[in-house]
Amino acid sequence: MWRLYQFPLCPFSRKVRLLLSEKGVGYELWRENPWDASDEFWKLNAAGRTPVIEHPEKNIVIADSRAICEYFEETVDRAPMINGTAIGRAEIRRLVALFDENLFAEVTGPLLYERMLKRIVHRQSPDSRILREAMKAAHGHLDYIDWLVDTRPWLAGATMSLADLAAAAQISVIDYLGGIDWSGHDSARGWYAVFKSRPSFRPLLSERMEVIQPPSHYAKVDA
C-alpha cells in the first residue's frame, strides 16, 4: 500500500492526492510536519519536504510532488493528466510550474507562514502587511486563471490536466486560510466550483488542520 507523508494544508500533497484519487490509486495518509521533521523523514527525503510517497513492500520512495505525479502518469493509464502532444504536455508542465512556484511563493507560502507556522511554531500573530500583499497577488493570479478559463475548456487546453489539479490544490489552501476573494473573478470561480464538486476533492474539503479553522464557505460546493 502507498503511504503519502503530508500535512492537511500542504498544497503539493493536495495536488498528489487529487491525482491519485482521479487515477484510482489507493493510499494511506501519514502525517508529517516538515517544520518538525523526524530523522526518519529526513532519511526518506534529503530535502526534508512534504510530500513523499513510499511503498514499503515494493521498496519505493519518491520525493517531490512533480516527480511523484510524473511517476503515476507513467505507470497508471487511467485518467491521463499529462497528456496530448509534446507541445500540449509542455503547456501543462509550464502551468504546473507557474502554480507550484509563483502562486505558492507569492500567495500560498506567505499565508501558510503568517497564519499557520507563526501560530503553531512561533506563537506570533500574522503580519497584516504581508497578508494584504499576498491577497493582492492572489488577485493577479485569479486574473490569469480567468483568462485561461475564458480561452480554453480547462486550464491547459481541451481536457482536465495536472495544471488544473495544481491550481486547485493551491487555491484550496489559500481559500482555507481566508485568502480568496472571488469578486471580479466569475470565470475562475466557476472553474473552481466544478472542481470542488468532484469526488476527488471531497476528502480535502472535509479535512481540518488543528487549531486553524477555514471560513464557512470553504467546504460548500456552491460557494
Ligand X SMILES: N[C@@H](CCC(=O)N[C@@H](CS)C(=O)NCC(=O)O)C(=O)O
Q: Return the residue of 29, 30, 48, 113 that touches ligand X, per CB under 6 A.
A: 48
Nearer to its own copies, 82 or 209 (CB): 82
Q: Distance from CA of residue 162 to its chain's centroid?
A: 10
Among its own copies, ligand X, none, what does residue 12 contact (CB within 5–8 Å per kind)? ligand X
Nearest-approach distance from CB 71 to its own copies, in angstroms = 4
Query: What angle do helix axes 186-196 and 162-176 make, rounded to 10 degrees?
Result: 100
Contact 181, 135 (CB under 8 A): yes
Using CB under 8 A as the criterion, which residues of the chain lie in contact with its own copies when the complex forms?
46-47, 60, 62-64, 66-68, 70-71, 74-75, 86-87, 89-91, 93-94, 97-98, 101-102, 144
Q: Which triple of cell numbers denotes residue 63?
A: 520525493
Among ligand X, its own copies, none, what does residue 94 contact (CB within 5–8 Å per kind)? its own copies
Burial label for 94, CB within 10 Å (0-12, 13-18, 19+), is: exposed
Q: How many residues bind ligand X (CB under 6 A)?
A: 14
Nearest-approach distance from CB 8 to its own copies, in angstroms = 22
CA gap 136, 37 in Å, rounded: 32
Site string for ligand X, 131-170 (x = CB under 6 A): ----------------------------------------
Nearer to ligand X, 54 or 189 (CB): 54
Q: Give every CB contact of residue 74 below 8 A, 6+ residues apart in sequence.
A: none
Nearest-approach distance from CB 90 to its own copies, in angstroms = 4
What is the binding site for ligand X (CB under 6 A)?
A: 10-12, 34, 48-51, 64-66, 97, 100-101
